Amino acid sequence: MVIILGVERLNESLVVIVRGIIAFFSLLFFTRILGKQQISQLTFFDYIVGITIGSIAATLTTDLTSRALPHWIGLVVWTVLSLSMQLITIKWRRAGKFIGGEPTVAIMNGKIMESTIKKMRFRGADLMEQLREKGVFSPQEVEFAILETDGRLSVLKKAENQPVTPKDLNMPVGKKGVNTELIYDGVVYHQNLKQVNRDRKWLDTQLQMHGIKDESEVFLAVFDPESGQFYIDRYEDKVKNLTDMSDYPEHE
Amino acid sequence: MLRRIIVIGIPVLLMVIFIFIMMSGIFLKKPMGKDDHVVKNINILYNDIQQRKWKAASTDRDDLESAWKRVVPRVQFSAERDEMNKISNSLAKLDGFIDGKEKAGALAELKDLENNWRNIGK
């Protein structure tokens, strides 16, 4: 308790803590509703929406000169509007293109589309930089370069500049699937074991084959059911002459 | 099913609690005991000042202040800091007007206090 203007009040820090908890969990809940878009996939508008929602949450926490509820309602309004925009863009293709913009062709058959990149307020230097990031050092190598709505450049190289694939060489390749975690941090995940149609007995045999007596010795064990590959990593890594990339080696 | 209840139920429950905390001023400013009836004290003080009963007004102003002191910690999570400061300021000014036996000033300050009180937690 502190005395402000002769009246005993709760310490303002306590009020900030409570408002902080409200803002934190509201933000967590609302961002979960808004979905799982990666930062790199955000459009410029999504980015601004994120900043605004964050800013409202910050004010909700620390601005004690105003009530918490109007800020919280502001959070709800921005979340609901964003969500409606998302739903509109999913449901109506035309509206989606209007709101989120459209990908545009920046390079076609090695030729830069100057008027298009100018319209997108994209400089030639930006274009070259993005091309270099994709491992392309001359626009001549490009068949198509498309400027995506989030400002990234997708590049399709000309056929003669594409890397050779096993298909080009008519090489047979084995199937590759998705690795499933069977053991993590010494704990066997029976549900995953069932998913890859294997049982505990099979896992024990695999562990024995790798010289492991107990699952608690294992940090990570993953299995690819398509290729049948089994990868195991123990806590005890028997590595001699460990490469130290740090500037401050542990033992000098 | 249980997972669904947890995933949806907990956030919804949290939101309801948060809204309740943010709107709690509306309920918590109402009297909960004998000595925290702010509106009643305002009315008593208003009559004292109208009838120029300055001694009674002084005592009743103190009662109003102690009622306000009891309510403050309850409404702090939902009220604006400035709203609470204004009520405390009005109480201090009222003290001066009652001491100086100035009816108009005291009434004006009391009306201002009443207005600020009405806005708390709204």
**A122 in the same domain as A80:** no
Q: Considering the domain boundaries, does residue A117 fall inside one?
A: yes
In order of A166, A171, A191, A196, the CA distances from A227 in angstroms are 17, 17, 20, 12
Distance, CA of B92 to CA of A81 (rounded, Å)? 46
Given a contact cutoff of 8 angstroms between Cβ atoms, the answer to whether B78 and A64 are in contact is: no
**A38 in the same domain as A8:** yes
Of B73, B78, B80, the CB nearest to A10: B73
**A35 in the same domain as A72:** yes
Which range scores top for mean pLDDT: A32-41, A167-176, B100-109? B100-109
Distance, CA of B3 to CA of B92 (rounded, Å)? 56
What's the domain range around A227? 180-234
Among A25, A52, A34, CA closest to B21:
A25
- Inspect the interface and report whether the beta carbons of A1 and B81 lie closer than 8 Å: no
More confident site: A46 or A156 = A156
CATH number of the domain residue B28 falls in = 1.20.120
Q: Considering the domain boundaries, does residue A112 fall inside one?
A: yes
**Which residue do the tokens 């047979």 mark?**
A172
Q: How confident is the model at residue A37 (pLDDT cuts 50, 70, 90)?
A: low
pLDDT tens digits for range A46-72: 888 889 999 999 999 999 888 899 999
Q: How confident is the model at residue B78 (pLDDT cuts 50, 70, 90)?
A: confident
**A115 in the same domain as A87:** no
Among B64, B49, B50, CA closest to B113:
B64
Of A1, A22, A67, the CB nearest to B79: A67
Predicted confidence (pLDDT) at residue A4 exceeds the cutoff of 70 = no
What's the domain range around B68? 2-119
Q: Please compute the mean of the pLDDT values over residues A21-29 and round it to a whole number.
A: 93
Distance, CA of B21 to CA of B15 (rounded, Å)? 10
**Which residue do the tokens 């400027």 mark?**
A147
Given a contact cutoff of 8 angstroms between Cβ atoms, the answer to whether A195 and A145 are in contact is: no
For residue B17, give the chain A residue with the closest CA: A22
Angle, CA of A60, A61 and A62, to the nearest 5°: 105
Q: How confident is the model at residue B91 (pLDDT cuts 50, 70, 90)?
A: very high
Predicted confidence (pLDDT) at residue A39 exceeds the cutoff of 70 = no
Distance, CA of A244 to CA of A51 (rounded, Å)? 39
Q: Considering the domain boundaries, does residue A116 fall inside one?
A: yes
Q: Considering the domain boundaries, does residue A220 fall inside one?
A: yes
Of B22, B73, B91, the CB nearest to A9: B73
Q: Considering the domain boundaries, does residue A251 fall inside one?
A: no
- Inspect the interface and report whether the beta carbons of B21 and A18 lie closer than 8 Å: yes
For residue B23, give the chain A residue with the closest CA: A69
* Number of domains composing chain B: 1
Q: Which of residues 2-41 of A touch B (CB under 8 A)?
A: 4-10, 12, 15, 18-19, 22, 25-26, 29, 32
**A92 in the same domain as A114:** no
Distance, CA of A35 to CA of A32 (rounded, Å)? 5
Given a contact cutoff of 8 angstroms between Cβ atoms, the answer to whether A2 and A43 are in contact is: no
Name A176's Cβ contacts closer than 8 Å, sequence gap at least 6. Answer: A224, A226, A227
Among A147, A123, A191, A178, CA closest to A43:
A147
Predicted confidence (pLDDT) at residue A174 exceeds the cutoff of 90 = no
**A66 in the same domain as A43:** yes
Distance, CA of A220 to CA of A152 (rounded, Å)? 35
**A117 in the same domain as A84:** no
CATH number of the domain residue A131 falls in = 3.30.240.20
Poorest-pLDDT segment among A57-66, A96-105, B4-13: A96-105
Q: Considering the domain boundaries, does residue A221 fall inside one?
A: yes
Predicted confidence (pLDDT) at residue B24 exceeds the cutoff of 80 = yes
Contacts of B26 in chain A (CB under 8 A): none
Distance, CA of A18 to CA of A15 (rounded, Å)? 5
Q: How confident is the model at residue A7 (pLDDT cuts 50, 70, 90)?
A: low
What token pair was written down for B111? 């009306």
**A64 in the same domain as A15:** yes
Q: How confident is the model at residue A3 (pLDDT cuts 50, 70, 90)?
A: low
**A47 in the same domain as A6:** yes
In order of A101, A154, A159, B54, the CA distances from A131 in angstroms are 21, 9, 17, 85
H or E segment at A233?
strand A229-234
**A8 in the same domain as A83:** yes
Predicted confidence (pLDDT) at residue B109 exceeds the cutoff of 90 = yes
Q: Considering the domain boundaries, does residue A172 fall inside one?
A: no
Cβ of residue A98 closer than 8 Å to a chain B Cβ: no
* Number of domains composing chain A: 3
Contacts of A8 in chain B (CB under 8 A): 69, 72-73
